[in-house]
Amino acid sequence: MNSALCGNTQGQYVTAAYVYLDTETNTLHYSAAGHPAMLLLRDGAVTEVSENGMLLAAVDNALYESKSMPLKTGDRLLLYTDGIVEARNDAGQIFGDQSLSTALTDTRNLSSSEAVDHLLATVQRWAKTQDDDLTVLVCDYVG
């Protein structure tokens, strides 16, 4: 992907995350390029899953690693764009990683679609105006 994008983005860079859920082995494979870390909600606790390489299209020969970890039934995965954690309130304070972790924890008894609504509403209450996209993807692993 990086090689295909290098020289073809008019000086722009791209962030990306790649997640592969292997249901035969109950394993998650994760890799990213300049993207915010994925969050894992398991048994009421949030863990950051990160394996991050350089932005895509920045350097032609960049190398990217992946991380593997076991999945458990009931795991909730959250992928999001930086507009979520960088949203600013009227005082100029960012929403931040801790607020996102707290909001994700608050979704533990909600469906995945309700979780998305809750996360977006929480950020939008924090930041009345928005300069960047607010994108979230919630995936519940049912085994």
Spatial distance between the Cα atoms of 96 and 118, rounded to a whole number of angstroms: 16
Domain span at 136:
2-140
- Where helices occur in the chain by DSSP H, the ranges are 2-5, 82-85, 96-105, 112-126
Residue 10, Cβ density class (10 Å: 0-12 exposed, 13-18 middle, ≥19 buried): exposed
Per-residue pLDDT for 122 more than 90?
A: yes
The pLDDT of residue 62 is 84
- When divided into structural domains, the chain yields a total of 1
pLDDT in tens, 58-91: 888 888 889 999 999 999 999 999 999 999 999 9
Model pLDDT, residue 78? 98
Q: What is the CATH number of the domain that holds 12?
A: 3.60.40.10
Q: Cβ(87)–Cβ(127) under 8 Å?
A: yes
Of the listed ranges 30-39, 40-49, 67-76, 116-125, the least confidently predicted one is 30-39
pLDDT of residue 127: 93
pLDDT at 59: 80
Which strand ranges, in their side-by-side order, compose the sheet holding 38-42? 45-49, 38-42, 76-80, 136-140
Query: In this model, does residue 129 exceed pLDDT 90?
Result: no
pLDDT of residue 84: 95
